[in-house]
Amino acid sequence: MGVRNDMLKHRGFPSRLPHSDFQFTIRRANPKGVTPLIARDRYADRRPADRRADAGFMAALWAHFGNEPFPRGNLDAGRLSWLFGREVIPAEQPFDNKSYDALLKIDVSRAMASFPDVFSEESA
């Protein structure tokens, strides 16, 4: 499979966490190939800024997609990988972790448990 130049761009999705360098989206397809999604371990001693980035990204995903499946598109692989396999899961089988067209979805119950502040407004 060759590199695609028609990667879906999620219009209206924030490009980064406000007032930070934590990136949420990419501008263009990687010319060397699609960066694979992997499940990264989040340890209890992560920096507060990293935790805010995870929560901010989850809030943006929830606001933009809700509980509907969504294509990976231009969402940053590094940022997605911090949530992948837990709060963000494949929405199709077989799942291609190296595809911009791969469908994902939020595991709402796990996301609510991991990021209660993101969902607290929903329950109010």
For residue 20, what is the DSSP state? S
Query: What are 63-106's pLDDT values in tens digits?
Result: 999 999 999 999 999 999 999 999 999 999 999 999 999 999 99
- Orientation of helix 116-123 relative to helix 48-65, angle to 10°: 40
User: HSE on the CB side for 101, CA within 13 Å?
Assistant: 7
Query: What are 36-71's pLDDT values in tens digits?
Result: 999 999 998 999 999 999 999 999 999 999 999 999
Dihedral class, residue 55 (left if φ above 0, else alpha if ψ from -120 to 50, else beta): alpha
> Domain locations in the chain?
1-124
Instruction: Tell me the pTM.
Output: 0.88
